[in-house]
Every structure is written in C-alpha cells, then in structure tokens.
C-alpha cells in the first residue's frame, strides 16, 4: 500500500467519531530485526521512527490522547545492552522531537515508576514533561517502567495513606475516584488498543483502563507499522458497536 492508499484510508475515517484515547503496545521490534539478520536493537531503532510518524499521524487526525508502551516493569529482564539501547533511544527521541512536540501544543506525560530509570533518562523525561505541561492539543502519554498491576497496587497503597490521614472514607471509594489514584488520573479510559506483531495479549498494559476498550490486533511488526495501519485500526474501530454492557 502506498501513500495514496494511506490518504484514501484517512478519508474513510469519520472525524466526528474518533477514538478519544488510543493506546499502542509497540511489539515485534526484536522479530523484525531477527528476520533481517540484524541485532534486536536495530528493531528498536526502526521502532522509534514509527513512534515519530504515528505521533504525527494521530496529532493530524486530532486524536486527543495517545498512550505508548515504551518500557514495562518486566522489560528489566532483558539483556543489559538492550536495556541501555532502549534508554538511549528514549533520550534521543525526546532530544530530537521535543521542539516539534512542543510547537504542536502536545503535552508529554508518563506513567510508571520513573525513579528506577537511569538519571539521564529521568532528567530528559522531566524536561519534556515540564516544558509541555500547559499544552492542550494532544496528550502523549508514555509508559516507562510501567505495569498495570504495579499501577493498581500503587493506587491501593496511596488510598491507604489517604485513609490513614482521614482524607478518604471506605464508603467513598468507587470506580470513579479510584481512577484519581492511577497514573492516568487526568486521562479518559482507553477507547482503542492497538497491538501489532501477532501477539493476542495485554502484557500488563493499562489493566484498569481497558474495561470497555476495543482491541485491534495485527500481524505487522511495530517497525513496519505505518500511518495507514493506524487509519485502518480507526476505521475498524468505527465499525464496532460499543455497548458498555448495555443493549
């Protein structure tokens, strides 16, 4: 499919029924590289290029929230050099893109325990968050040392702290205000979750926020994921009948 097909697909999207919040589990970088006889890190490098393109495509469509799974709480099990490359790529991405992101009025947010990341990464991420904190066109929410279970456990601990301080009563805890204890407290639930690479699982991504999310899976590896795939996912999403438990 060439660029013209991408435009054709884009034109099929009903701009009045866009998913407000799209999440992407960017998977398949390693397999993409292996298929080409390249080191896994080459897949991550190519994957970053897709991050740039997909952020831009989502922004041009007026998607309001885009959540990307960049590094999970489980990814620490990977070889040291791969972790180091991922951290370097993150710094390079912010360094290269932050000016454009800021000029485009995009707010960068993160979810996950940043304190465990290398100091240069923390500094660069904080710089991006601070610089863009008042931007309003789109939120780019990046999962860094993020795990859905970890997020829920952290929420429970924070609720217990507030309980001890008398800030919250047991009977006050409900689905709505539980959200205030999540990393995504200012972000609506996910409407559409995209997972390329042929895996049909959640891998600990936004477990609380996917209760009524539409899933879109594809065999394409993340480094091959182009804007046309994003458009196709949105077109398919718009064909779904979302009932949220109703009829």
Residues forming the active site: 27, 75
> Does residue 186 sit in helix, strand or coil?
coil
Q: Which of 58, 90, 168, 187 binds ligand FPP (CB under 6 A)?
A: 90
Q: How far is the CB of 22 from ligand FPP (least distance, A)?
A: 14
Residue span binding ligand FPP (CB under 6 A) among the ranges 68-76, 99-107, 160-168, 209-217 = 68-76
Q: Is 27 in the site for ligand FPP (CB under 6 A)?
A: yes
Per CB under 6 A, contacts with ligand FPP among 114-153 are 142
Of the CA atoms within 13 Å of residue 122, those in its CB half-sphere come to 8
| Residue 192 near residue 17 (C-beta atoms within 8 A) | no
- For ligand FPP, which is the closer residue by CB, 168 or 190? 190
DSSP state of 165: T
Q: Is 55 in the site for ligand FPP (CB under 6 A)?
A: no
Q: How far is the CB of 142 from ligand FPP (least distance, A)?
A: 5
What's the rounded Cα separation, in Å, for the pair 150 and 207?
A: 10
Residues 178, 76, 132, 179, Cα dihedral to 10°? 0
Q: Is 104 in the site for ligand FPP (CB under 6 A)?
A: no
What's the rounded Cα separation, in Å, for the pair 191 and 170?
A: 29
Minimal CA–CA distance to 83: which of 97, 68, 71?
A: 71
The residues that touch ligand FPP, with contacts defined as CB under 6 A, are 26-31, 44, 47-48, 51, 68, 70, 75, 86, 89-90, 93, 142, 197
């Amino acid at each position: 499919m060439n660029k013209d097909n991408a435009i054709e697909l884009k034109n099929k999207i009903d701009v009045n029924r866009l998913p407000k919040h799209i999440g992407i589990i960017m998977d398949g970088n390693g397999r993409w590289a292996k298929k080409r006889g390249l080191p896994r890190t080459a897949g991550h490098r190519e994957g970053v290029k897709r991050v740039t393109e997909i952020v831009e495509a989502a922004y041009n469509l007026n998607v309001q929230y885009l959540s990307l799974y960049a590094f999970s709480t489980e990814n620490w099990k990977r070889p040291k050099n791969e972790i180091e490359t991922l951290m370097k790529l993150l710094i390079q991405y912010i360094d290269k893109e932050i000016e454009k992101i800021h000029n485009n009025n995009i707010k960068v947010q993160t979810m996950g325990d940043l304190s465990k990341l290398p100091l240069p990464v923390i500094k660069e991420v904080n710089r991006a968050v601070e610089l863009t904190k008042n931007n309003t066109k789109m939120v780019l929410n990046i999962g860094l040392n993020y795990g859905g279970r970890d997020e829920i456990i952290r929420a429970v601990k924070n609720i217990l702290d507030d309980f001890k301080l008398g800030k919250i009563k047991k009977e006050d805890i409900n689905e709505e205000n539980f959200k205030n204890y999540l990393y995504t407290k200012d972000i609506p639930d996910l409407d559409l979750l995209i997972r390329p690479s042929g895996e049909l699982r959640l891998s600990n991504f936004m477990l609380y926020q996917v209760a009524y999310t539409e899933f879109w899976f594809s065999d394409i590896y993340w480094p091959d994921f182009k804007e046309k795939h994003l458009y196709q996912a949105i077109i398919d999403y718009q064909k779904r009948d979302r009932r949220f438990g109703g009829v």
